[in-house]
A and B are shown apart, each in its own frame.
Chain A
Amino acid sequence: DVKVTQSSRYLVKRTGEKVFLECVQDMDHENMFWYRQDPGLGLRLIYFSYDVKMKEKGDIPEGYSVSREKKERFSLILESASTNQTSMYLCASSRSRVGSYEQYFGPGTRLTVT
Chain B
Amino acid sequence: KNEVEQSPQNLTAQEGEFITINCSYSVGISALHWLQQHPGGGIVSLFMLSSGKKKHGRLIATINIQEKHSSLHITASHPRDSAVYICAVPDYNTDKLIFGTGTRLQVFP
Contact = CB atoms under 8 A, between A and B. Distances in A.
Given A105-B42, A105-B44, A107-B42, A98 B99 contact: no
B43 A105 contact: yes
Contacts, number: 51
B95 interface: yes
A104 interface: yes
A42 B86 contact: yes
Chain A interface residue number, banded: 20 to 34
A102 B54 CA distance: 14
Interface stretch (B12-20, B25-33, B57-65, B67-75): B25-33
Interface of B: 29-31, 33, 35, 41-45, 48, 86, 88, 90, 92, 95-97, 99-102
Nearest 6 CB-CB pairs, A to B? A99-B90, A99-B30, A105-B43, A107-B42, A102-B45, A43-B99
